[in-house]
Amino acid sequence: MGQPARISARPSQLKPSSKKRTHLWLLLIPLLCFLSISTPRLGLVGLGEETQRSSHPSPEPAFPDLPRHCAAIPAISPSTFEARRNTLAKRLRQLGAAAYIAEPSSSAAYYFNVSDAHWRLSERPLLFVVTSSVSATADRDGDISANVSILTPKFEATRAKLLPLSPSAYIQWAEEQDPFAVLFDALRLPSNSTVFIDGNARLFVADGLQRALPHGRVQNAPPQVVEIRERKTSEEINILKCANEATLLAIRATHKRMRIGMHESDARELVAGALAAVGLERAGCLTLFGENAALPHGSGTNRVLQKEDFALFDCTGQLHGYWSDVTRTVALPDSSIPDDHLEIWHHVHAAQSLARVATYPGALTNHPDIVARARLMLDGYAPYFTHRLGHGIGLDVHESPYLRGVPAAQATLIQTGHTFSDEPGVYIEGKVGVRLEDCMVVEEGAPYATFLTAGVGGAALSPWEP
């Protein structure tokens, strides 16, 4: 998955759980374009939204009661970045790999604090390279440390030197040179080396590296390396908790200001203001009323909220680079929701809480999905739960490992430090859509996962108490 883009692109809301839905979404794009041109107030999927928002430069005053919830939460410290790189270096040595290579990406953000927001990807590769150095005294684990090099286009070297890290070498490739050959010449790796490449790197980079190392192996970083970033430390969990709490507070504040008769676009603007007021960056919120919520990515009709309608908010935002992801399906005090829709809400709620308890260290990643699906099967709703239960979350909104009902042989183990979304849903096209989502963390010493929103009450209590 790529790095989520700014609010206007909203890829974070595209929960790509099924191919079928992705195709549906693609079919809807022309419709959305047409609607947003012909009906300016729609402001859908970012089309026309920036202009709408620019007429309200500061949405904060709408939520004077909403404090910047995470002002006291520190960003990742410099020593943590160094420790992460040293862990990586040790892992490389254990696995017999000579180097780890990443493009600017969420993985580069993890190890070097540089994402593709700091250095935009282009056809000219800029690469981060980690090799391991051993001190002369011993070959004990503690003496292995990371040696970082940056491969940069020669004419961009000055700009590369402004990036916030101090590598031991800037390796420069001139326009007439093969960047990958220049890299391996400079590193002087044995020609039969194994090199790990980050899973986000583009194919031409992987391909070019392999061609420049014909007797070696360039391969995707294996699970032992991916795991370093997957398993969060308490420093990261504190950030993730606060981001998710803030997101839920913003949804609740929005809920209090809603009224029957408002448009989806009004609610979308309201929740954007709340997410900004609470202090989240790059925030966005899928906002769908009534039957529109039955299409997990929306329908684009800017529906007016009726008394019989649920409203669904699926919001994300960033704190210190880490993402939140919270979904609430709500009703208003004067709503009159049909009984069968309320029943669906309570079944989804039950599935969500069972799935959390089914998420514990040593369980397989397919287990919580199977449990949530089994709960919905009891009432005949399983066929309407059309996507996976959840995804990992961290520096990417969607990252590995995923909670999917795959065969056991394809599942991996849930471990402490893992953070996942827990988001069952029921979607009956033309009628109703209900999804409830809180992210959860598997912490050391706890029997099963805790919601990252627990600090502000956690899961919804009812459609009226989100």
Ligand X SMILES: *[C@@H]1O[C@H](CO)[C@@H](O)[C@H](O)[C@H]1NC(C)=O
Indicate the residue among 80 and 415 with the shorter CB distance to ligand X.
80
Among 9, 31, 75, 174, binds ligand X (CB under 6 A): 75
Tokens of 272: 């954007």
**Chain center to CA of 453:** 16
x/- track of binding to ligand X for residues 258-297 (CB under 6 A): ----------------------------------------
Tokens of 266: 């009004």
Tokens of 195: 């090199």
**Of 74-82, 98-106, 275-283, 308-316, which part binds ligand X (CB under 6 A)?**
74-82
Bridge partners (DSSP) of residue 263 are 304
Tell me how far, at minimum, the Cβ of 217 lies from ligand X, in Å.
9
Indicate the residue among 25 and 81 with the shorter CB distance to ligand X.
81
Indicate the residue among 39 and 147 with the shorter CB distance to ligand X.
147
Among 74, 78, 222, 362, binds ligand X (CB under 6 A): 78
x/- track of binding to ligand X for residues 112-131 (CB under 6 A): -x------------------
x/- track of binding to ligand X for residues 342-381 (CB under 6 A): ----------------------------------------
Indicate the residue among 131 and 419 with the shorter CB distance to ligand X.
131
**Of 8-16, 73-81, 383-391, 409-417, which part binds ligand X (CB under 6 A)?**
73-81
Tell me how far, at minimum, the Cβ of 230 lies from ligand X, in Å.
21
Phi-psi region of 140 (alpha: psi -120 to 50; beta: other; left: phi over 0): beta
**Cβ atoms of 279 and 343 closer than 8 Å:** no
**Cβ atoms of 163 and 143 closer than 8 Å:** no
Cα torsion angle, 219, 222, 225, 228, sign: positive
The CA-CA-CA angle for residues 70, 72, 78, to 5°, reads: 105
Of 171-230, binders to ligand X (CB under 6 A) are 186-187, 190, 192
Tell me how far, at minimum, the Cβ of 19 lies from ligand X, in Å.
35
Indicate the residue among 168 and 336 with the shorter CB distance to ligand X.
168
**Cβ atoms of 230 and 395 closer than 8 Å:** no
Indicate the residue among 177 and 336 with the shorter CB distance to ligand X.
177
Tell me how far, at minimum, the Cβ of 80 lies from ligand X, in Å.
8
Q: Is 168 in the site for ligand X (CB under 6 A)?
A: yes
Closest CA to 435 of 381, 398, 392, 399: 381
Indicate the residue among 37 and 75 with the shorter CB distance to ligand X.
75
Tell me how far, at minimum, the Cβ of 237 lies from ligand X, in Å.
18
Task: Count CA atoms within 13 Å of residue 298 on its CB side.
Answer: 27
Closest CA to 291 of 274, 305, 271: 305
Size of the site for ligand X (CB under 6 A): 14
Tell me how far, at minimum, the Cβ of 5 lies from ligand X, in Å.
16
Of 136-165, binders to ligand X (CB under 6 A) are 147, 149, 164
Tell me how far, at minimum, the Cβ of 42 lies from ligand X, in Å.
34
Place of tokens 């927001």: 117
Tell me how far, at minimum, the Cβ of 220 lies from ligand X, in Å.
18
Indicate the residue among 164 and 383 with the shorter CB distance to ligand X.
164
Residues with Cβ < 8 Å from 449, sequence gap 6 or more? 356, 357, 359, 360, 420, 422, 440, 441, 442, 443
Indicate the residue among 108 and 225 with the shorter CB distance to ligand X.
108
Of 96-115, binders to ligand X (CB under 6 A) are 113
Tell me how far, at minimum, the Cβ of 172 lies from ligand X, in Å.
12
Tell me how far, at minimum, the Cβ of 134 lies from ligand X, in Å.
8
Tell me how far, at minimum, the Cβ of 232 lies from ligand X, in Å.
17
Q: Is 169 in the site for ligand X (CB under 6 A)?
A: yes
Tell me the residue length of the chain: 466
Contact residues for ligand X, defined by CB under 6 A: 75, 78, 81, 113, 133, 147, 149, 164, 168-169, 186-187, 190, 192
